[in-house]
Structure formats: C-alpha cells, structure tokens
Amino acid sequence: MDRLDNTIRPYAWGSTTAIPQLLGVEPTGEPQAEMWMGAHPGAPSRSDRGTLVEIIAADPERELGAAAVAKFGPGLPFLLKILAAGGPLSLQVHPNLEQAKEGYADEERRGIPVDAPHRNYKDANHKPELICALTEFDGLCGFRDPARAADLLAGLGVDSLKPYVDLLHAHPEEAALREVLTAVLSADREEMAHTVTAAAAACARLGGEYAPYADIAHHYPGDPGVIAAMLLNHVRLQPGEALFLGAGVPHAYLNGLGVEIMANSDNVLRCGLTPKHVDVPELLRIVRFEPSDPGVLRPEASPDGEEVYETPIDEFRLSRYVLPTGGAAHDLTRETPQILLCTAGSVRAGEHELRPGQSVFVPAGEKAEVSGSGTVFRATVVA
C-alpha cells in the first residue's frame, strides 16, 4: 500500500484552524478548506511511486481490480476529502448522470472552453456525495415544506417578501418552490439586495432558527442566495452523523469539519452565495422541486466492527472502524481499491503508522490489516 501525500486547497470559505488542528500543526493564517485524497487530475495524491493518476494509468486492473475497471472504467471512481468549512459554501446542485452527459456534450459542441467561468459541465459524470461530520457540522439540504418556508419568510416582517409568501401558500408544492426560486434568482439585483439586507437585519434581531441565515447574509451581503437558502432545511450533524446528497438536491455546507466522499466529478450548478456564474435556466432544469427530509445517516454496524454509511450508488462506499485500545486487528483486504484515512488516535495500516489526517492507498487485492487505538475511515467502491 502507498502512503499518500495530499494537497490542501485554500478556498476562501475554508477554516484557518480546523485542518491544522486535525494534523497537529501550526495554522498558517490562511484558509485551508479541503484536503483531497484520490486521483483527481486537479490535485492527485502523491506517493513514492508517483501520483495516484500515474500509478493507476500504468496498470488499471492491477490497482483497481478487474471488476471495478469493467464497471467504472480505468480511473478511480471516487474522490475522498477532509472538508473544513469556516463559512458557507455556495448554494449548489449536481446533475444526474444523463444530465451530465447531455450538458457536457452540448457545451463541447458549442466550443465552450472547459475552464471558461460560464461553463457548467467540466466532465460527463454525475456527482453524488456524502459528508460525515467529525465535529458539529451545519448545512442546508433539500427543500422545506413550502408552507413552513412561507411561515419562516413571513416571520421576518419584510414587505418585499410577501409575494413569495403568497406564492408558497397558493400553489401545489413543486410549482410553488419552482416559482419562488425562479423569482428570487431572476429579480432585479438592486431591488433584491435591499430585500436581502432587510431580511438579514430581521434574522439577526430574531435569532433562534433565523441565526444561520443571519450568518449566511454576513458572509454574502445582498446575495439572492440568502433568500433561496431559507427555502431549504437547516440541519446540524453531530460527530459520526452524515448526509447523502443525490442529484438535483439543493444544498450548502455552512460550518464544521467532516470527511466527504463523492463521485470523481467537478459538475456544480450554483444557486447563489457565490460571485461565480449562476446559470438560472440550466439550474431550473436540474433542480428537483420537491420537499424532503434531510435524511440524517447514522452508520450501520456489522459483526466485524465495520460501520457502514449506506448510500444508493456504487461509485463509492464509506465506512469507519473505531478501534479500541488493545483490540484485535481487522483484515480489510478487498478486491477493489481502497483509501484508508485516520481521523483520531494512532492506527497501523500494514507497515504504515497513521496519525490524524494521514492516509494510504490500498490496491485491489492487496493485504490490508488495521490495528491500534483510533478511528479509520475506509473508502472503496461497490463492484
């Protein structure tokens, strides 16, 4: 197995302290948002054998296993991250596989450069994802019941929000949500900025369930995404709890440290809370306008001590082992590729001693045994 050297991405919303604290190093003072583990060409993990992209390309079947290559192709199907949100990420949604293929082909046909700021589809893949909290973790996930969203907006006492309140009460659920999100994102920017400013002041004054939106508005003053965010469920995960984000579900991470895993894709359509491109017509084509419960996931324990976060897709499978002091070693050998990530304590993986934030890549079929006292997350595929 390969000890991994991983890139930390300094996005502006990142925490300045959470990843350094996990790694046991001094903060630099700069935001450290994500640490990537995998074979994404934007920031592949490195080892003594080269980058993970180079290692896999040299012999895909040896590294990934024949079943995984047959099912997903000759690349690692997932990207594993440590995510540290010091402030809200953009409000966003991801396409399903068919939409991604269509959107990518259309933008290729129109000759839009893949790095163009108005490009929506960087690849032809979908991007389901799972976030598992390492600390208390706040996020937005899926639409509220429209009547509940209407009550929340009405409670602000802002006259310019009344048309949205009326829409949410007057239509069937899907139509109500579609009309309001369309109206918010298509409104005159200057008028909407005044509405958001008034709403933000009311959120700060009222506190309680309005407090998360006051904080969002603090980071993104005047952004229409502040009102769009109030249409969504607010959820606070406790350590060990997780959220699965499927295609078409609007969401945003707000604050906290977590382990994130996703299909190996960059496809994001933004709804707000960002200076980046918002393609409203394409966004409305992708969003699933249906109220839903956030669906907090808790791991399901198996007799061998593996705790699995069950999801409906095969590109990734995330689980964890909480290893007690003096406990028996666990054999994790599997005929699919794996990344093992330590998040607490001290864990021995093969010949490697792992401290929090350290990880290894395990080729398919390679002997993989873990022991020690701590927590190790296991990322692999279902093939």
251 and 260 Cβ atoms separated by less than 8 Å = no
- The H-or-E segment that residue 245 falls in is strand 242-245
9 given a catalytic annotation: no
- The H-or-E segment that residue 302 falls in is none
Query: To 10 degrees, the CA torsion angle through 78, 82, 83, 86?
Result: -170
**What is the rounded distance in angstroms from the CA atom of residue 352 to the CA atom of residue 344?**
15
**HSE of 76, CA atoms in CB hemisphere, 13 A:** 31
Three-state DSSP state, 154: helix
Position of tokens 């369309």? 182
User: How many Å is the Cα radius of gyration of the chain?
Assistant: 22
**What is the rounded distance in angstroms from the CA atom of residue 61 to the CA atom of residue 67?**
8
Q: Which residue is catalytic, options 46, 144, 270, 320?
A: 270
Angle, helix 189-206 to helix 211-219, in steps of 10 degrees: 140
DSSP-derived pairing of the beta strands 338-349 and 352-354: antiparallel
Provide the 8-state DSSP code for 54.
H
How many CB atoms are located within 10 Å of the residue 178 CB? 16
- The H-or-E segment that residue 80 falls in is strand 78-85
Amino acid at 180: V
Looking at the annotation, which residues are catalytic?
Answer: 270
